[in-house]
Chain A
Amino acid sequence: QQQVKQSPQSLIVQKGGIPIINCAYENTAFDYFPWYQQFPGKGPALLIAIRPDVSEKKEGRFTISFNKSAKQFSLHIMDSQPGDSATYFCAASIESGGSNYKLTFGKGTLLTVNP
């Protein structure tokens, strides 16, 4: 049972475009929703994260939109650049006391930004 569904699988945009990656979750206990960026040969790096008490969060060119009632969240990349070409993963977890937690990942979106 896939608890976090991510779409699309791949995405090609032109430089300056605004790619949008969508995720949907099932477990209403999830309360932390990070996005990770992964380049070939590297581990995932945290890009931006949101908690369900806000509907939108911006960090630089990256924006997360969150719809709690629909159990959906999405990543928008403004003014995309060729250097943004990477695989993007959404994830969800139940934030708990203590430090690390179990992340449930989407299957990933391979983004290509053409110059």
Chain B
Amino acid sequence: KAGVTQTPRYLIKTRGQQVTLSCSPISGHRSVSWYQQTPGQGLQFLFEYFSETQRNKGNFPGRFSGRQFSNSRSEMNVSTLELGDSALYLCASSTPGVTEAFFGQGTRLTVV
């Protein structure tokens, strides 16, 4: 069974640009969560999607948004990039009734 796939693995963007990251969950998993990982703040919850609906949202500005498609794949978008948005963005998926969340390898975003 394939794991959680995140694309791209690495990304370099310029301040002010926007970026879209993609996450394909494990087959059969309908819930996708996104986390931001930085050396200073650690792992922080961004948002969670289940059946194409955002169910939970972390404490991030509105520049961070996401969506989920009918096949459970998810995208997150960051608009008007700032230097502080440089981070590893991780996606996790899980299946109903099972608490365990499986993480992808992440997308390393560098804003210059």
Contact = CB atoms under 8 A, between A and B. Distances in A.
A46 B42 contact: no
Closest 8 CB pairs of A and B: A43-B103, A100-B31, A99-B31, A105-B43, A99-B96, A100-B94, A107-B42, A99-B94
Interface of A: 32, 34, 36, 41-46, 49, 89, 91, 93, 95, 98-108
Given A49-B100, A100-B48, A100-B50, A41 B105 contact: yes
Given A42-B105, A43-B106, A98 B33 contact: no
Contacts of B44: 105
A22 B93 CA distance: 27
Interface of B: 4, 29-33, 35, 42-45, 48, 50, 55-56, 58, 90, 92-106
A42 to B, nearest CB: 6
A57 B4 CA distance: 27
Contacts of B90: 43-44
In terms of DSSP, what is the predominant structure of the interface of chain A?
loop
B23 to A, nearest CB: 11
A67 B95 CA distance: 29
Contacts of A107: 42
A100 B32 contact: yes
Nearest to A105: B43
Contact of A103 (B31, B95, B101): B101
A31 to B, nearest CB: 10
